[in-house]
Amino acid sequence: MNSLLNINNLTAGYGYGPDIVRDFSLTLNKSEVKCIIGPNGAGKSTLLKSIAGILKPRSGEIFFDGEKISEKEAYQIMRLGICFLPQERAIFPNLTVAENLRMCAYSIKDKKVAEARIKEAIEMFPVLGQRLKQIAGTMSGGQQQQLVYARAFTIKPKIIMIDEPSLGLAPSLVEQTFNHITQIASSGIAVILVEQNAIRGLETAGYGVVMDLGKLVFEKPAKEVLQDQSLRELYLGKALEK
């Protein structure tokens, strides 16, 4: 129980529908980067939503730093130190960039710390500094992406969960995005990554977690997953054809 995040026998689903995540267990240690791969509908996004508290688990428990979080509200879980970047661009399109950054730092009680963190984020992403008064939704895709990742550096969470970061992005932006993720990981934040571009995801991660039909199939160091021919054919097949 010394790991940062413990997921024990988690089962989750939507409304009256079937279980999407079934009896799933996973642990995550400090500064670890794990990439969850698996076919569409495997329950990867649902898993992240359950951890973040957007979706209440049907059964099972989730512990963060020894504290049970599976019954907490999403904002409480976020304030404990788990930041979730969902598939849809997690910015407020009708707010200005400055207001978006203020919202990123909303959970930081100390105003001075909040301001300092926002400054840090702007230093990291100078484009945002030049566009503070612009309505966020009118920026280019790449700039919006920077705003999304600025959140990680503003909040400095213990864990960051990213759902399909490269989905719908131009190839050059995919590269930029993975650079941001590497940057986040190297600052000591643990990362759970769900990525359809499995090879790119595994190259970034320490561990590969394969999920199918809501269940954990196996977990191995990412390098082994990448090198294992049979695994590549089974789970990374599509990516290889490209």
Partner 1 sequence: MIEFLQVLILGICLGFVYALMVSGLTLIFGVMRIVNLAHPILIICGAFVSYWLFILIGLDPILSIPIAGLVVAALGVVIYKLIFERNAAQQTYSEMTVLLTFGTAMVIDGILSFVFHNTQRTTSPSYATDAIFIGDIFIPLAQLYSGLVSSVIIVGLAVFLKYSDFGIAIRATSQNRTSAELVGVNVKFVCLISFGIGCALAGAAGALVSFIFSFFPSRHWEWIAIMMSLVVLGGMGSLKGAVIGAIVLSVVSSMVGAFISPAWSTMVFFLSLFLILIIRPKGLFGIQSD
Binding mask 95-124 for partner 1 (x = CB under 8 A): x---x--xxx-xx-----------------
CB of 4 to partner 1, least distance (A): 19
Of the pair 86, 142, the CB lying nearest partner 1 is at 86
The token pair that represents 56 in the structure block = 């209440």
Rounded Cα gap, residues 221 and 162, in angstroms:
19
User: Does 167 contact partner 1 by CB under 8 A?
Assistant: no
Rounded Cα gap, residues 163 and 141, in angstroms:
17
Of the pair 37, 85, the CB lying nearest partner 1 is at 85
DSSP conformational letter for 30: T
User: Does 149 contact partner 1 by CB under 8 A?
Assistant: no
Of the pair 63, 106, the CB lying nearest partner 1 is at 106
CB of 151 to partner 1, least distance (A): 7
Q: Judging by beta carbons within 10 Å of its beta carbon (0-12, 13-18, 19+), is residue 172 exposed, middle or buried? A: exposed
CB 193 within 8 A of CB 36: yes
CB of 220 to partner 1, least distance (A): 30
Of the pair 88, 241, the CB lying nearest partner 1 is at 88
Rounded Cα gap, residues 224 and 205, in angstroms:
12
The token pair that represents 128 in the structure block = 């945002």
Interface with partner 1 by CB under 8 A: which range of 79-87, 117-125, 138-146, 179-187?
79-87
| Strand, helix or coil for residue 11 | strand
Which residues within the stretch 19-58 sit at the binding site for partner 1 (CB under 8 A)? 52, 54
Residues in Cβ contact with 238 at an 8 Å cutoff, skipping those fewer than 6 apart: none
Q: Which residues in this chain contact partner 1 in the complex, by CB under 8 A? A: 52, 54, 73-75, 78-79, 83-86, 90-95, 99, 102-104, 106-107, 151, 155
